[in-house]
Structure 1
Amino acid sequence: MNRFPAMLVLVLILVAGVGRPAHAETASDAMTRAKAVAIIADNQKIVSPRGIEENVAVPINGIRQALQIRGRDTRNPILLFLHGGPASPDMPLAWTFQSPWEDYFTVVEWDQRGTGKTYALNSEAAMAPGMTIDGMTDDAAQVVQYLRKRFHKRRIFLMGHSWGSVLGVRLAQRHPDWFYAYIGVGQLVNMRANERAGFAFALDAAKADGNAKAIRELQSIEPYPGRKALTVPRVAVRSKWESYYGGLALGRRNFRFDARAWELSPAYSEKDLDAIGKGSLFSLHHLLGQLNDIDFDRVTHFRCPVVLFVGAHDETTSHVLAERWFAKLHAPSKRMVIFADSAHMVMQEQPGRFLVHLVDDVLPYAQRVGDAAPGEVVRGTGIPAGSTAGDHSMHSSR
């Protein structure tokens, strides 16, 4: 057997100086957050000649709002990601799932008003006047206008996750001509019905598990949500146990797998990380009461295409409510993909399948009008057709 290639790799590693040292680890060798972040940043660096990798603060509606813009070819369409929460940023998580998207889209992560880097850039007094659903929908509109103008795009893709799907639906309703498609991930349809469903799931799971602590804590907030306004302590109990039984991420007990990944984000400084919790409390103070009234049950006519990505086990934003809503939708075209092994965090739970459906079900809307970089050149014969077995896809065109 010819072992030269393996030996060559070993020589290259040693010459590059990245082999493990033979001596015992010293304090200077120990891994720190700064070293880990630098390694990830170097690994994720975009070096393609037509690529873009920027972190910018854009003046929007009286404050500076943080955007991360990444893609390997700016000839590709823009995909604006509206994170959940409120004030749960995806920018510090993007390094865990987003890189493959950047082959096909110029992806924009936006820290909304009151969130993460944007919270750190501004005073609460400056942000407070716009901390309404209407105000933040207008913020989103201004972000879209900035991107359309800067990149000379007539249309872009709009993706809303969880709370971000509230802004996404409202924006797609107001400006359908700006978007190739609206993509709802973990779509929120009706807030109070959603809370009832999540609570019922958690209590049923706790009873089946014989979990006395969970049953006691959940029953302490009954009837939930009832006629009372939503409050942070009551929502926290429901969310704690719904997450514990896999309604947030299938097979996981909590949000720690996400929150710990924030710590290694090349996009976030220590100050930005500290701002996440502060921004969340600030945002919930302003927005939780307004979320009481979110109801899209009768918002069923869209003038742009709609794509829903639904986790089959999502109880954070009820997959049942999303599926029922999809059945009532009227749009130029609509498609729903149900991910069999996901709950609410679909892009992290099944990242490969998420990418496949982004490319197969979303990207063609832009490709049809030439808003995409040239594809790969494939030579040969007998190339098998792709398969999405394991995902349940429904499509309807009108």
Structure 2
Amino acid sequence: MKDYDEVLLKGVSRPEYYEEVTIKSNSVPIVLSIWKSKKEDPCIIFFPGTMTHPLFYEEFLNLLSLNGFNVIGVHLVCHGKSPRVKELYSFDEMLQNGKDAISYAIGRFNNKIFIMGSSQGGILTIALAGLDNRIKAAFPHNILIPALPDSICVTRFPNSFKHIYNLIIMTMKMGRKVVPRLQLHVSFYLDVKKVTRDKEIYGKLERDPIGFMKYPIYFLTSLFCADLKQVYDGSIKCPVVVLVGKKDPLFPFEYTKKVFKLIKAPHKEMLIFDEDKHLIMNECVDRIIDKIVCKVKEFV
């Protein structure tokens, strides 16, 4: 992984091809990080993982751009460089961020729009694929359908808790009503050792001046209660390529295959990497970039 502290302190690798713009989404400002290629080149819109932002993936996104793509990384509502203008925000607002980023990309570049995201960003990607027909193809890294009790396997709670999954969801809904602003550290619901075993990378996540390590229960409830029926009801009109680390410690391969079977799309496939890390777009960039670029170009 590239020295992330360097990116934050000294800027991106190719500043002459990078810019940041602010747009309105849900009536509040959000920031877009843009790695520019030619105006006529396809555009990949990227959604980052839990509590991070596009600059955490700078090496990967810069390489995508060098391979002939305009790349737009979305600083989701109140994340990254987007102003912290709201105490409470929801998964649905993030979906709207995605739609607004697509509108910006079409107006700025062209209508050859691809979407991609990692971890929580992968969930946004597969959800958005069924909500916006302007997308040419979707490339989620990690997929999840919150309504499935088996989704408990992605959390730090025992798999046996799937038998009381509905009770857990009910408890979260109560918490959202009673203490919506209650901040929960990522380690409360995720096993951080499964996110990354690299102490240096985890340390950078904790020290990130524009990231954070807590979410309000209001947001977490909106995520775990999100209705993603569009993933399996035929709403998806574009190809879907699921990017999978075969030994991903956070998203078990068996769970990913179960969700993959439910996806209804004109074309779907899995692009599998023999990696044992969750943050493959950070820790395995040199081993995954060429396969991803070749796959995206199949749909241009």
TM-score range, shorter chain: 0.7 to 0.9
Asked if residue 171 in structure 1 is aligned to residue 132 in structure 2, the reply is: no
Is structure 2 residue 182 aligned with structure 1 residue 248? no
| Matches of 1:35 and 1:103, distance apart in 2 | 17
For 1:292, the equivalent position in structure 2 comes to 224
Distance 2:31 2:7 in 1: 24
2:167 to 224, 227, 235: 227
SS at match of 1:362: helix
Residue 111 (1) aligns with residue 68 (2):
no
The one-letter amino acid paired with 1:174 is L
Identity of aligned residues (%): 20
Distance 1:292 1:197 in 2: 13
Segments of 5+ residues of structure 2 without an aligned counterpart are: 176-182
Partner of 1:17: none
Please give the residue correspondences for 1:32-181 in structure 2 after superposition, counting only pairs within 5 Å: 37-38=9-10, 41=12, 44-45=13-14, 47=16, 52-85=17-50, 87-89=51-53, 91-104=54-67, 105-118=69-82, 121-124=83-86, 128=88, 131-151=89-109, 153-176=110-133, 178-181=134-137
Shift of 1:327: 2.8
| Cα contact 1:63–1:122 (8 A) shared by 2 | no
1:75-114 deviation digits (Å, cap 9, x = unpaired): 32110001121x322x231233332211221111111002
Query: Which structure has the larger Rg?
Result: 1
C-alpha distance in 2 between matches for 1:117 and 1:234: 20
Secondary structure of the residue aligned to 1:341 is coil
- Give the Cα–Cα distance (whole angstroms) in 1 for the partners of residues 148 and 165 of structure 2: 7
Distance 1:354 1:102 in 2: 15
Q: How far did residue 196 of structure 1 move? A: 2.8
Displacement of 1:145: 0.5
Contact 2:47 2:74 in 1 (8 A): yes
Seen in structure 2, the aligned counterparts of structure 1 residues 335 and 352 have a Cα distance that, compared at 3 Å, is farther
For residues 84 and 349 of structure 1, the distance between their equivalents in structure 2, rounded to whole angstroms, comes to 14
2:77 touches 2:93 (CA, 8 Å); kept in 1? no
Query: 5+ unaligned residues in a row in structure 1: which ranges?
Result: 1-32, 205-218, 264-272, 367-398
Post-superposition CA distance 1:110-152 (Å, at most 9, x none):
110021211xx24226xx4xx222232122211110111111x
Deviations 1:255-307 (A, max 9, x none): x41552797xxxxxxxxx43422xx53x4332111223246478323210000
Query: Is this contact kept in 1: 2:36–2:70, CA < 8 A?
Result: yes
TM-score normalised to structure 2 length: 0.79
Given the superposition, is the C-alpha separation of residues 297 and 60 from structure 1 closer, same or farther in structure 2, using an over 3 Å criterion?
closer
Q: Distance in 1 between matches of 2:255 and 2:111?
A: 33
- What amino acid is aligned across from residue 82 of structure 1 in structure 2? F
Q: Which runs of 4+ in 1 moved over 6 A?
A: 33-36, 221-224
Count of matched residue pairs: 282
1:360 alignment partner, one of 277, 294, 299 = 294
Give the SS at the match of 1:338: strand
Cα separation, 1, equivalents of 2:269 and 2:38: 27
In structure 2, the CA distance between the partners of 1:331 and 1:285, relative to structure 1 (3 Å rule), is: same
Backbone CA RMSD of aligned residues: 3.4
Q: Aligned-pair distance for 1:194?
A: 5.0
C-alpha separation in 2, matches of 1:154 and 1:260: 36
Q: 1:336 aligns with which of 264, 270, 275?
A: 270
Q: TM-score, normalised by structure 1?
A: 0.61
Secondary structure at the counterpart of residue 139 of structure 2: strand
Counterpart contact for 1:46–1:72, Cα < 8 Å: no
CA, structure 1 residues 135+99, in 2 after alignment: closer, same or farther (shift >3 Å)?
A: closer
Task: Determine the structure 2 residue equivalent to 1:216.
Answer: none
Identify the match of residue 201 of structure 2 among 257, 272, 279.
257
* Alpha-carbon distance, 1:192 to partner: 5.9
* Cross-structure match for 1:268: none
CA distance in 1, matches of 2:23, 2:279: 28
In the alignment, what sits opposite 2:179? none
Aligned to 1:22: none
Distance 1:138 1:156 in 2: 16
Change (3 A) 1:235 1:82: closer
The one-letter code of the counterpart of 2:120 is W
Task: For 1:138, give the aligned amino acid.
Answer: Q
